[in-house]
Amino acid sequence: MVHSIELLFDEPTDAQLRRCWRQLADAGLPSQSRVQSATNRPHVTLLAAEHIDTAADAAVAQLLDRLPLDGVVGAPLLFGRRSYVLARLIVASPDLLALHADVHDVCAPHLRPGPAPHSAPGHWTPHVTLGRRFSAEEAGRALTAVPELGRDLTGRLVALRHWDGDQRVEHLLGGV
């Protein structure tokens, strides 16, 4: 399974993103709201790897003084070829890009085998996932089902976590 280091949103931003999840589900579309896990929450993945040793947690925790980060949840985007992931862009501010690079630097000795290429500095698209396995037709319907997709959302990134996909648990590293 995959491990990741992720940023979490403040409560108001989290609630607005969950409302988008519900609107998708209410329209009969794929939605992250269907993931039944206590750790399922809107987040921004900073780093993904096959394995991140727990020793990385202390190194990442040293970066907590960089939080909170103000941010903009922007335009909708699609990843994929036949089946799509619907997400919203997180506008890449200089502070967010610097935190991303520093997380990679401090985690590098603790990754096996290394970072996933799509999460590496210079190849990363900061985003928050709304749903997975959309057809092209469903992706088009999502734009009408969730009116907020046409408007930027100002929010805050306030905490860091290490997601352990092997154990399916989160390790909260701190934040406000």
Q: State which amino acid sits at residue 89.
A: L
- pTM, entire model: 0.94
- For residues 61 and 64, give the distance between their C-alpha atoms in angstroms, rounded to a whole number: 5
Pick from 165, 176, 169, 161: which is nearest to 1 by CA?
A: 165
What is the radius of gyration, based on Cα positions, of the chain? 16
Virtual torsion, Cα 17, 19, 25, 27, nearest 10 deg: -120
Contact call for residues 78 and 134 (beta carbons, < 8 A): yes
pLDDT tens column, 1-41: 699 999 999 999 999 999 999 999 999 999 988 777 777 89
Is residue 44 very low, low, confident or very high in pLDDT (cuts 50, 70, 90)?
Answer: very high
Lowest-pLDDT range of 41-55, 82-96, 117-131, 161-175: 161-175
pLDDT tens column, 113-160: 889 999 999 999 999 999 999 999 999 999 999 998 989 999 999 999
Q: In this model, does residue 68 exceed pLDDT 80?
A: yes
Torsions phi, psi for 120 (to 5 deg): -75, 145
Q: In this model, does residue 167 exceed pLDDT 90?
A: no
Look at residue 37 in the predicted model and tell me its pLDDT: 73
CA 12 and chain centroid, separation: 16
